[in-house]
Amino acid sequence: MNSNQMKLLLICILSVSFFSFGQDNLVHLNLKKGEVFDILFLATIDGSQETFKEYRQTAFPVASEMGFSPLPGFKIRETIQGNYEPTSLILAKWKNLASREKFLDEIEARVPNFHDMRKKIWSIFNLTFYELPEDYAIQLDREKVIVATACFKKERTKADFTEFLTRWKKAVKNTNGTLKMELVNGKSPEGYVYNPDYMAITQWETKEDFNAFQKENLKMDVGFLKNVNQFTLTD
């Protein structure tokens, strides 16, 4: 990533995610049942600063009016699994599913060049959103190893997939990892489809602990999975 891309990514994270934390490096995500949680994977196009400025001035006010709230985001340090390589993970929430869907239905009328601007700013812009079935109070520590994992299963493999997730989560626990959040039943808007069957945010105490997990993970039978994307996150 060159200097201009890095500058634009920083502006994006500052604007979308209120990217400021205390010196303890702790990130707090407080989410309520019925809210909608957005996960966006992005890669920024070099030289798109002016377009992003317009996007921020036109699209953000509409989103805020309709119940959008930014949450802390992350740069992606490394792609661990898969050939999909976004450079940042942005998080946000909406007050409810109705407000999320209203934005999708009305944004083109309010901002006619909305999708064109996105294409000029990001080479990757993939979105999954989840209506939350319960409250979440999550704390992540940027000094530890934070990992996002997305699993896509093949058709007619429900039993195998369930067994895999059981073993996968056991391996997380056995290597000093913590399952911070797991998400299913997501939705993606047309044009931005990225809809894994299972999404998890996990945290390990040390790089050595995570490496131990990876050794266990690689032993698992994943022939019933269509794809796995896994990323380590940073500030």
Question: What are the pLDDT digits (tens) for 50-83?
Answer: 999 999 999 999 999 999 999 999 999 999 999 9
CB distance 148 to 89 below 8 Å:
yes
CB distance 224 to 162 below 8 Å:
no
The mean pLDDT of 110-139, rounded to a whole number, is: 97
Q: Distance between the two ends of the chain, CA-based, in angstroms? A: 15
Check whether 6 has a pLDDT greater than 60.
no
Specify the pTM: 0.87
- Helix runs in 20-157, H state only: 49-65, 97-110, 114-121
Lowest mean pLDDT among 20-24, 66-70, 112-116, 199-203: 20-24
| Distance from C-alpha of 10 to C-alpha of 25, rounded to nearest angstrom | 17
Check whether 16 has a pLDDT greater than 60.
no
The mean pLDDT of 111-122, rounded to a whole number, is: 98
CB distance 117 to 55 below 8 Å:
yes
Predicted pLDDT at 18: 33
Check whether 3 has a pLDDT greater than 70.
no
Q: What is the mean pLDDT of the chain?
A: 89
Residue 191 Ramachandran class (φ > 0 left, ψ -120 to 50 alpha, else beta): left
* Percentage above 90 pLDDT, the chain: 80
Check whether 15 has a pLDDT greater than 50.
no
Check whether 27 has a pLDDT greater than 50.
yes
The string of pLDDT tens digits covering residues 44-56 is 999 999 999 999 9
